[in-house]
Structure 1
């Protein structure tokens, strides 16, 4: 399956309690509310702060069409509470996992469940040879999510963080092979 084909035909994904669907214009307010929170933005590499409507529209018009990105919603509700996705790597046949949740939903296992569904899609449906991810050292909770999925540390490095205006934030780089998937 080619990247372009799979992006156009991106399926909805479900877990026991979640429905993952394509983000849309109706989600703009929820995206701004969630990602506009400094506690969310400072844990993400590609999100500016402050975050406004123009940023949310950029996400919907440029990121969503070019990456495997899903809105995280609770089953029975269409309200976006987060996002999860795979960013295709330019130089390799693989992708990087990323995710965020609105702060009121932290600590409930939602990020782990949503990321598990997306990782399964990437490895089983897209047949990616591996998936990369990473987290800022100051966000060990994200590292625990990745460890629960079977990711293993491959390096210590630095990443950019738009919200902080820095390109040297200490991070942990991780990788998941299909045989390591939990």
Structure 2
């Protein structure tokens, strides 16, 4: 488990399926992040047992409520959607629409970054966002990620379409320097 001021990030549980469905069935969430809307609670349960079953994928919950409202995770090395080294990871995240604009994803990602660099001792973190998802870009920038490159006409098998994806990165040393500025 990971925690921040307002959040607890914990492993997904089967009992999270109704909450996952509630937020993942909203067409404003998944398609922007590159995955289709969930059709029913059973599909959400299957996603929990397959996609979210990785050890570094967490349900984002409010500290006081414990209900899953989003996801943050690390896709390390070959599990990433990018060609990265085994000691690097892709950061993935999303949050339900009622929680947009509250700074919860940057807060969750910063806790995940602390874990990635200190506990897992990763060398760099990568993050992507599709051209039509400026909210994701802003969340990455708040966390210190810097633009690295753009991939045009990248095939997305989950949505069966082609997209432009902008890729950002932060290395361990960059992150450490940012930590110093955040605490001064």
Q: Does structure 1 residue 139 correspond to structure 2 residue 128? A: no
CA displacement 1:82-120 (0-9 Å, x = unmatched): 111011221622211010100000000000000110111
Task: State the TM-score, normalized to the length of structure 1.
Answer: 0.86
| Aligned-residue CA RMSD (Å) | 1.7
Task: State the TM-score, normalized to the length of structure 2.
Answer: 0.85
Q: Does structure 1 residue 36 correspond to structure 2 residue 31? A: no
1:86 aligns to what SS in structure 2? strand
Question: Per-residue deviation at 1:160?
Answer: 4.0
Q: Is contact 1:49–1:162 with CA below 8 Å preserved after alignment? A: no
Name the counterpart of 2:57. Answer: 69
Match for residue 122 of structure 2 among 124, 128, 131: 128
Question: Per-residue deviation at 1:150?
Answer: 1.1
Match for residue 85 of structure 2 among 92, 116, 124: 92
CA displacement 1:121-175 (0-9 Å, x = unmatched): 1111101110111001111111111111111111111444456431x21110111
Q: Is contact 2:21–2:40 with CA below 8 Å preserved after alignment? A: yes
Q: Which runs of 5+ in 2 are unaligned?
A: 79-83, 179-184
Q: Is contact 2:3–2:9 with CA below 8 Å preserved after alignment? A: yes
Name the counterpart of 2:47. Answer: 59
1:122 aligns to what SS in structure 2? helix
Query: How many corresponding residue pairs?
Result: 169
Higher mean C-alpha deviation, range 70-79 or range 90-99: 90-99
CA distance 1:111–1:57, shift in 2 (3 Å):
same
Q: Is contact 1:44–1:161 with CA below 8 Å preserved after alignment? A: no
1:42 aligns to what SS in structure 2? helix
